[in-house]
Amino acid sequence: MKNIYGYVRVSTREQKEDRQMMVMSELSIPKKNIYLDKQSGKDFDRPQYKKLIKKLEKDDLVYIKSIDRLGRDYKEILEQWRILTKEKCVDIVVVDMPLLDTRRGKDLMGTFLSDIVLQVLSFVAENERTNIRQRQAEGIAAAKQRGVRFGRPSIPQPENFPELVEAWKKGRIPFYKAVESSGFSESTFYRRLRELRKINNEKLNNYQKVDF
């Protein structure tokens, strides 16, 4: 065995890598040999992982905390496992899954068993992610039916908003002052202005329809 490496990945920039890094530290992996990616599910470029792949040499050892750090889905996990073990000829240890340690059973039977275990566990990992996404979607749909609103709370419109708009349009106050006095951002100010115009147009149309 030559060098020992660790690979850490979190799926969004908001998630913390502390637990994975702590595991790498407990394994006494040199900090310079730990590669960390913070990539969203939509952007799976993983620049640090690519650097690690280029760095690896035969008989090196790579630690990952869980099997889903290798990929987003079942197919990708299997492909990365193949690249690491067959093309790069390195050993992999999945900390959370002791059966996935390629240092054990170097004979044909040991390799076969490792591959079978990998396929089962990676399928289970993907299936669990699918179930989580489904539960989240169902929870959101149920909450919307109950009237729960998502996103940022709407900023209340000041009572004098029409007067502020009128003062700005007639040049009595500058635009920045109208925005500042309303408490809105510029984009919200314009959006509320469009809503106000729509309301006024509807009122005008209704007035014109009245039969005197």
What distance, in Å, lies between the first and last C-alpha atoms of the chain? 95
Who contacts 51 (Cβ-Cβ below 8 Å, separation ≥6)? 35
Is residue 184 predicted with pLDDT exceeding 50? yes
* Bridge partners, residue 41, by sequence: none
Q: Which two tokens stand for residue 141?
A: 């749909």
CA dihedral 199, 205, 207, 210 (to 10 degrees): -140
CB 155 within 8 A of CB 188: yes
Is residue 33 predicted with pLDDT exceeding 90? yes
Is residue 35 predicted with pLDDT exceeding 80? yes
Is residue 152 predicted with pLDDT exceeding 70? no
3-class DSSP state of 63: strand
What whole-number percentage of the chain has pLDDT above 90?
A: 23
Provide the pLDDT for residue 209: 53
Sequence ranges of the chain with CATH classification 3.40.50.1390: 4-143
Q: How many other C-beta atoms are found inside a 10 Å radius of the C-beta of residue 103?
A: 11
pTM, to two decimals = 0.55
3-class DSSP state of 176: helix
Distance CA 203, CA 197 (A): 10
Distance CA 172, CA 190 (A): 18
Instruction: Provide the annotated active-site residues.
Output: 11
H or E element at residue 59: none
Mean pLDDT of the chain: 79
Provide the pLDDT for residue 99: 77
Please state which CATH number belongs to domain 4-143: 3.40.50.1390
Greatest Cα-to-Cα distance within the chain, rounded to the nearest angstrom: 97
Is residue 11 predicted with pLDDT exceeding 80? no
Is residue 29 predicted with pLDDT exceeding 70? yes
Provide the pLDDT for residue 151: 57
